[in-house]
Amino acid sequence: MAKDELDSDAILAALSKEEIGDLVDFIDPDNTCLHPSERMPPQTTKEPTGPFDRDHLMTHLKQEAENSKIGEGYIPYKKDIRGKVYKEKEPIDSTKKEIKRSKFADELDQMLSLVEQDDLADLVSELGLEEASNQLRSTSSKASPATGLKANVYSYKSPAAKPPIIFPQLLEQNTDIEETIVRLQELDPTLTTLNLNNHPRLEEDLFQQLCDALVANTYLTTLELAGTKLGDNHAKMLVSVLKNNSTLQSLNLDTNYLTGAGIKVILQALKENNTLKELKLSNQKHSAGAGIEMTMAKMISSNTSLLKFGYSFTTPGPRIQIDKYIMRNTDVARQQRMLL
């Protein structure tokens, strides 16, 4: 043992019983559940003034604070309500609500009456209602809103009990496919947009003739085939069009029966296409799945002309990748325009 260290056993052995008792009084016992005041002897010589009284203590502290008056700009505390006093809102009169709704309905009807049907179709497409947009486009290509549409009355309950609003009824698609094929074969320069949305008769043999006519056509720029029940066999027929046609810029295949295999066939053909700028494949009857969507993103990565691509993705990863490729193509097209 070092000389500087104290031998506690020797020190305790030298204490008397009275000294050991005094030492025990100043050491906490092993029972830590006791309050410190019960484990230690009192450390003050003052006499207790009585039990604790919180109200008496708060009154004393308040008086001391008021009497201190520290600083020249001292302002005594005064209990007061700060901010705005809460008041219950008055109930809104139901008649005012009805009047506002009536005014809004009138303004909306007035605005829609001034919108062209093609613009209205674009608006519906932006809202995600692809099928309704395709129907509006097929209608606008066959008849004008003023004379060619049949009127159909839909019941509309207005708060002001106004008469029902008359909406146009969509016409059935009745484009003559045989005549259209002949015009394509003869290279009619006036035929630049072909709208076959919701056409009831696009059988495989007739569709093959249409594709053969499109291969050599040099005037058509827009082809609308939404809602025509096209399947994977029809997609294979479109491959020759995408590989050989040099003027087609927009292709709409929304709301059809294409599966993942048919979509892959179309996107595979885009590797040899440098003119198509818009491709719509949304709202198919069969969901392609995450694996097919990743394959779609890889196929579109090699295309440099596509500027718009519509598809109902189920996973965010492929959608984000395709958005990057579309932005890349858009930047390239912008740079080419600046060089002209």
Give the range among 88-97, 203-212, 279-288 with minimum mean pLDDT.
88-97
C-alpha 298/C-alpha 268 separation (Å) is: 10
Q: How far apart are CA 137 and CA 119, in angstroms?
A: 9
CATH of 177-339, one of 3.40.50.460, 3.80.10.10, 3.60.21.10, 3.10.20.310: 3.80.10.10
Query: Is the pLDDT at 281 greater than 50, yes or no?
Result: yes
Per-residue pLDDT tens for 126-176? Answer: 665 555 555 555 555 544 444 334 334 334 444 444 455 444 444 556 788
Mean pLDDT over 69-97 rounds to 74
Question: How far is the C-alpha of 299 from the C-alpha of 294, rounded, in Å?
Answer: 9
Among 28-32, 46-50, 195-199, 303-307, the minimum mean pLDDT is found in 28-32
> Could you give the strand order of the β-sheet that contains 278-280, starting from the edge strand earlier in sequence?
193-195, 222-224, 250-252, 278-280, 308-310
Whole-angstrom Cα distance, residue 149 to residue 187?
30
Boundaries of every domain in the chain: 100-169, 177-339
Query: How much of the chain is in helix, strand and coil states, percent to nearest 5?
Result: 45, 5, 45
197-243: per-residue pLDDT in tens? Answer: 888 878 889 999 999 999 999 999 999 999 888 999 999 999 999 99
Residue 193, classed as helix, strand or coil, is strand
Is the dihedral angle over the CA atoms 150, 153, 154, 156 positive or is it negative? positive
CA distances, 8 to each of 14, 18, 21, 187, 198 (Å): 10, 18, 16, 116, 103
Residue type, 233: N
